[in-house]
Every structure is written in structure tokens, then in C-alpha cells.
Amino acid sequence: MSKRSVDRRNFLKGAAVTGAAALVPDAVASAAQGPAPAAAGQGQRPAAAPTSAREIDPRGEAEPLTTDRPGGDFMVDVLKSLNLEYVASNPGSSFRGIHESIINYGGNTMPEFITCCHEESSIAMAHAYFKVEGKPMAVLCHGTVGLQHAAMAIYNAYCDRVPVYIMAGNSLDATMRRPGVEWAHSVQDAAAIVRDFTKWDDNPVSLPHFAESAVRAYKIAMTPPMMPTLIVLDGGLQEDPIPSEVAARLRVPKLTLATPPQGDSGAVAEAARLLVNAQNPVIVADRLARTPAGMARLVELAEALQAPVIDQHGRMNFPSKHPLNLSESAGQLIANADVILGLELTDFWGTVNGFRDSLVRTSRSRIRPNTKLISITAVDLYTKSNFQDFQRYPEVDVAMAADAEATLPAITEAVKKLTTADRRTAFAERRTRLEQMHARARDAARAEAAIAWDASPISTARLAAELWAQIKTDDWSLVSESGNTSGWAFRLWDFEKSYQHLGDSGGAGVGYGAPAAVGGALANKKHGRLSVNIQGDGDFLYAPGVWWTAAHHQIPLLTVVHNNRAYHQEVMHIQRMANRHQRGITRAAIGTTITDPNVDFAKVAQGLGLYAEGPVSNPNDLGPALRRALAVVRKGQPALVDVVTQPR
Amino acid sequence: MLIAALVLAGTVAGAQTQAPAGQAAPAAPPGNAETGKKLFVANGCYQCHGYEGQGGSAGARLAPRPLPWAALSRYVRRPANQMPPYTEKVLPDADLAHIYAYLQSRPAAAAPASIPLLQP
């Protein structure tokens, strides 16, 4: 790393802290003394001139052939001020300028370049990284083919209310494009294809414009409800020299994150009153905990009320062994509740209604007629039209358009103030009852796990138990969705830290699991945590190049393939159709299973640079295979065990 | 995100309560457990209930100790909730009887206390 880049970092660090107005970084200062300016912000691409610099006879003496002050360097100054640790990217020519600025001018640190093999992987890595680290990771991609590849993963992050800091390369000036590919890789409005599921985008036409938009994009992405944002980087802005007159105006704007909105005080008081007076209050949490404070605050409220908590697992909301964790008894609790507090629920309607997927689709309420519903969600502050992830309209009694994590302390305080001695006695009795329910649920889980214990294919309960036995004394983090293993990890493991579960994909776009696991593990790496991934086989096959990324960047991660040899959700859907139509009920495997040939996942992973074993189909072989793979992971490398499993 | 488990929690009990309580239940037609094992897979029961009928997030536990024949066959024909219906036309009673024999043949699970990995 050059002395200059070290100085730059110190300089910008000071700038970020003081927020001084007139910042002129090195790249800018030297440009200010450079040659005569071209058009503002467009480097040497004069907009009005009949012949541009690039059309001069290439052998002409006057033609500059080099520059040591490309616009991309200033872009890197701005990115460094945002404290972005990594930029995930599958390399592409439309952002070659900033790519080179990142690795050379920026010293390939803050951000460090993470080489990806698919843009869907880049985005999903950044998606899960955020859920561990609490801050966004950057992604660079082509504004055309790259964004097209990235689109599904961006949609997942959007549905999951996760910020991803996306930058896409493009070449706006048609007369400056190289013939051929650069035309195919250029677009008028790059952001258009993802605008329905990003929160904000911009297409800066100058470096000062870039600076403001880059900081604004970060701020908007991080304001609840959090979502991906996109900045389109013009190739000319990245590659051309910084014109001196532009250099004089360059500065890195100060970033101040917006404080998350807290619920209105009247609504908070009303919610507290309802909760304190309730006989059977129930707290349901989905995408609640955006920081480690979220879980602590929920524990405090639950204990103030001695009320049961149902964790819908959108985030790591509540310790699994806490006696008030009654997630296993959700149906019964919802049916008996007189007040339900929903915290950042994706689907409040679906929480309190049953819906039948049969020839005649019907629904019925699961709650008592007078049950009061209180909703706190930042999603009420920002809803788009086209994509329908917002679910059925919930008819609630109190709706706080606010961030639930930020609102919890006020509710807890109000609850404590309203709690009389009588209520306290009632709460203590409720606690005793709930503790017993919790204990019964844990016992039932163990008894059910014992069924099919020795089965082959291996039961998902056995898989979870074998894995738990080998990681429980480590500082572990389950970086996968884990949704298709019948929730066995939640039932058998002891989740207590904010990074021990990262929720799900958000949009249920398959292909999220593998790259999300690698991104979560990347975030865990510097903390020395043991990252564990229960990996769907169908998901594995979308973009398996991400295992190479894990090997290349030495990201420690144990992946256990939950190999049911099918897109199993779809097997069940086709079975449903065949049954409903009363024909061919033995043919649901056609088009849905991944057999004939069976995929040799261990061999694929080995080819991509991983230590890998399998397929393991004898349950007694599983423990030793996991032990060998974990030995590799504990040395800092990724490893994989392919396990032939029961479907769910 | 809300998952299917929540949907099931309320409904499995519903199915159970529809079983005739205390009535003299008709006996199951004769069935062969080996044939039943194959039919359990071929007709897709394993998809939601697991190869051993152990159940999970996609379907209720069917074994060990399956419901009485009358309740089981009634449920399979006219499920009350999420399970797709299997009519007599596509799954004759004789085949369902083999499946029933298979479910009855599933061994009782070991006590969790005897499995070291399942200790609290």
C-alpha cells in the first residue's frame, strides 16, 4: 500500500468525523493543477465540441495517453468514507475504471474486492453479510447483463428489507462507446429493470453529483424500512481525468444516518394499556431485530409482561431456550389470545387467518372475535405497487408506522408504569404456566426427533442433532435459511446470540442459500466465528461458482447438503395438482426431482476448491464425516458434506 | 417469515378430533407392509410425511402408532385442511390398506433418554 493511500485514508477519516465542508482529497488536489478542463464532470468528453478528444488522430502529438487522476479515484474516496468493507463483483468492462481504482488507488482495502462468479451471488452475499454485520456491503455489476443476473437476488433483499449498496457500470455517451460489446452493455436507464424492487437509484452525470448520490444512497438504504439502492456509474466518469474546474468543487459529503422512526406516543400508550390489561397477550416477531439490541429489548418487554413470544424467524429475535419462547405453540396461543402485538410482521393477516389451498380456496379467522391486534412495522412507511410481497391487508386495531426495535423501549417503559401489584401477581402466574408449556415443547421435540432416528435417508432431526453436538461449544453462526428441515435446529439447538440465525431470503427466490451462506461466513470471518450452512440441493445448483469464491477468499464455512434429490416444494405442488385432478398421482417426480443421475455434490465442490465428502446416507457415518470437515473449517477453509436426507 | 409449521400446528389436532372416539371402528382390510412401503413412496405420502411417516413441517406424524383405520381412511379421502385428497379412483382402498399395514409396521421410537445426542 502506498504512502499516499495511507495518507488519504487518514485524511478522509478525519473528514468523516468532522464533516468539514471544503474537503479536497489528494486525487482532487493534484487534478486541480492539471491540464485545462474539459466539460464539467465528463472528463475529456466535450458535449458540444464537434470532434471529441478521442477522435483526434491517435498518432497526434497532443493526445494524452495516460492520466494519474481518473474519476474512479475520487469515487473510491467517497466509498472509503462510507466504511464499506467489501465489494462483491463478477468483473465487467463497464466498471473497469472503478475496479482498477479500488485495487490500486484504494489499495484493495475498504472496500476489498471479492471475486464472484455470478451477480446473483454478489448480491446474496451482501444480503446475508448485512444481517451479520449490521452495515451494507457493496456490489459492482454491469448495468445491463450484470443487473439482469442480479435482479432476482435484489428482489430477495428488497422483500427481506435488507440494504445492499449496488453500483452498476454503464456507458451513457453513445459517441464514446467502443463498437460491438460496449453497445450491447449500454442502456439509457439501467436502474429501470430493478426500480420496482429497489428503494432509490440515481445516474450521476458528474463527480460532485456522484459524491452526493453515493452518500444519499447509503443513507436511504439504511433508513427503515431498509432496502437495496443503486447508483449507476458512467464509464466516462470513472475513467477520464478529473477536470481541474471540477476538482475544485469536489468534496466528500458527510454521512449522517437518519434515526429510525419511533411509534407515536399516543399509540405507544394505547398499546401498553391493551397489553397490561390482557389476560392472554401474545408477542409475535418477524423482521424485528435489526441490531443486537433488538433481541435484548424484546426479552425485556416479554419479561415485563411475562407474555409468550412467537418468533417467526425473519431475524434472530428471541433466545430459543428462553422460557417465554413459545414459538412451537403458535397455533394454540394465537387462538386463545386477547391481544396480539405484531413486530415487523411480513404477514399479519396470515398470522391470524388460516388459508386452505384446495380446489375451492377458503380462509377462516384463527382468532377470537374481540382479539385486539397491534402492529408496529416500518414497512407501513413505504409500500410499492407492482410486486406483491406486501401480503393480504391486515385489519389491526393499532397500527404504528414505525421501526419496532426503536419503539420497544417506550412500550416497555409504559408497560412497567401501568403494571399494578395485582397485575404483577397475574403476570407471575402466567409465567409459571408458560414455563411449563415451554418445557413440554422441548421434551416433545426430543421425543419426535427420536422417531426415524436410524432411518436412511437420514432424518432432518438426526442431521440437526449430529451437527449441534459438534458445534455447540464453539462460537457458532447458522448462516443458512434452514427453512426446509422442519425447523429442527430451532427445536433442538440453543440460539442466544444475534448472529446465530440470519432469517431467510425474503422473496423465496431459490438460489439465495449458497451465496448467502458464503456472505454470512465472510462477515463472521474476522470475528473468528464458526459458520454453519444447511444447504438445499436444488439451491446449490443455481450458481455453484460461489463455492470457488469461498475457497479463493479462504472463508471458513461448513456446508451440510440437505440432499433430498428434488426441488421438493415443487414435488408436493405437482402431487397436489395430480390428486386434485384425480390422475397420474405417481408421476409428481417428473420435472421436479434431481435424480438420474444423482448429483455428486462432493465432487462438484472438490472441483471448485473445497474439502468435500459424501454422499453420506448411513446415519452412523454422519458424525465422523462432520468431524473431518469441521477440522478443515477450524483451520480457516470452507468444507462440505453431502448428506442424503428425508424430504423435510 | 411465516412458515407452514404454524399452519399445521392448528390443523393436525383438528384431524385427530375427527376420528371417531370410542366407537367400534371397522377393521382395516388386509394389507402387506412391504407392498405398502412401495405404495407409500409411489403415491407421494412420503413427500409430506417422511419415508417413515415421521412427519415434519409439511405433514403430520402418521407413525409409529397410526390412527385407527376408519379415521385414517376417512382423512385421506376428505382431508380437512392442507393435505390433498386421494380419491378411491386414484388410490383404491386395497392400496391404502397396504399403506396402512406399512404404517402399522413402523417400530416404536427409542426413548430420547437412551439417545446421547438428544440429551437436554
Q: What pLDDT digit, counting tens, does each position of A85-116 carry?
A: 999 999 999 999 999 999 999 999 999 999 99
| CATH T-level assignment (fold) for domain A450-644 | Rossmann fold (3.40.50)
- Give residue limits of the domains in chain A: 71-247, 265-434, 450-644
CB contact under 8 A, B109 and A504: no
DSSP A368: -
Q: Is A222 helix (H, G, I), strand (E, B) or coil?
A: helix
Please compute Rg for chain B using Cα positions. Answer: 15
B119's grid cell: 440429551
Average the pLDDT over each of A111-120, A260-269, B19-28 and give the range with the smallest value.
Answer: B19-28
> What is the predicted pLDDT for the residue at A22?
40
> What is the predicted pLDDT for the residue at B109?
96
Confidence of residue B11 (pLDDT cuts 50, 70, 90): very low
Chain B positions touching A580 (Cβ under 8 A) are: 84-85
Test mutation, A453, A458, A568, A592, chain B, max B CBs within 10 A? A453
CB B65, CB B56: distance < 8 Å? no
> What is the predicted pLDDT for the residue at A484?
92
In A547-637, DSSP assigns E strands to 557-563, 611-616
> What is the predicted pLDDT for the residue at A61?
81
pLDDT digit string (tens) for A195-210? Answer: 999 999 999 999 999 9
Q: CB A607: neighbour CB atoms within 10 A?
A: 13
C-alpha distance from A510 to closest chain B C-alpha (Å) = 15
> What is the predicted pLDDT for the residue at A55?
55
CB A211, CB A38: distance < 8 Å? no
ipTM of the modeled complex: 0.89
C-alpha distance from A355 to closest chain B C-alpha (Å) = 8
| Residue A309 Cα distances to A187, A286, A295, A395, A472, angstroms | 49, 11, 11, 21, 24
* CA neighbor of A483 nearest in space, from B120, B58, B47: B58
| Domain architecture of chain B: domains with CATH | 30-108 (1.10.760.10)
CB contact under 8 A, B54 and A459: yes
A68's grid cell: 494519474
pLDDT digit string (tens) for A503-515? Answer: 999 999 999 999 9
Environment class of A59 (CB within 10 Å of its CB; exposed 0-12, middle 13-18, buried 19+): exposed
CATH, domain A265-434, list 3.40.50.1220, 3.40.190.80, 3.40.50.2020, 3.40.50.200: 3.40.50.1220
CB A626, CB A441: distance < 8 Å? no
Q: Give the β-pairing of A200-202 and A229-234.
A: parallel
CB contact under 8 A, B10 and A350: no
Confidence of residue A14 (pLDDT cuts 50, 70, 90): very low
> What is the predicted pLDDT for the residue at B114?
97
Across the interface, of B58, B87, B111, the residue whose CB is closest to A648 is B58
Q: Residue A350: closest CA among chain B residues belongs to which residue?
A: B2
User: Which residue reads 388386509 in cell numbers?
Assistant: B30
Phi then psi dihedrals of residue A63, to 5 deg: -70, 120
Q: Can you name the residues that pair with A165 across neighbouring β-strands?
A: A138, A229
Amino acid at A648: R
Would you call the peptide bond into A225 cis, given omega within 30 degrees of 0 as the criterion? yes
Q: Which CATH class is domain A71-247?
A: alpha beta
CB contact under 8 A, A575 and B91: no
| Measured distance CA(A246)–CA(A237) in Å, rounded | 11
CB contact under 8 A, B42 and A586: yes
What single string gives the DSSP state of each residue in A518-568?
Answer: HHHHHHHHTTT-EEEEEEEHHHHTT-THHHHHHHHTT--EEEEEEE-SB-H
| Measured distance CA(B109)–CA(B118) in Å, rounded | 13
Residue A47 has pLDDT above 50, yes or no: no
Phi then psi dihedrals of residue A311, to 5 deg: -95, 115
Confidence of residue A56 (pLDDT cuts 50, 70, 90): low
| Measured distance CA(A508)–CA(A584) in Å, rounded | 28
Q: What is the pTM of this model?
A: 0.92
* CA neighbor of B45 nearest in space, from B106, B115, B99, B8: B99
Mean pLDDT of B16-41: 77
| Summary mean pLDDT of chain B | 86
CB contact under 8 A, A449 and B90: no
CB A175, CB A132: distance < 8 Å? no
Environment class of A276 (CB within 10 Å of its CB; exposed 0-12, middle 13-18, buried 19+): buried
> What is the predicted pLDDT for the residue at A134?
97
Chain A positions touching B91 (Cβ under 8 A) are: 585
Across the interface, of B2, B3, B118, the residue whose CB is closest to A450 is B118
| Measured distance CA(A315)–CA(A481) in Å, rounded | 10
CB contact under 8 A, B118 and A356: no
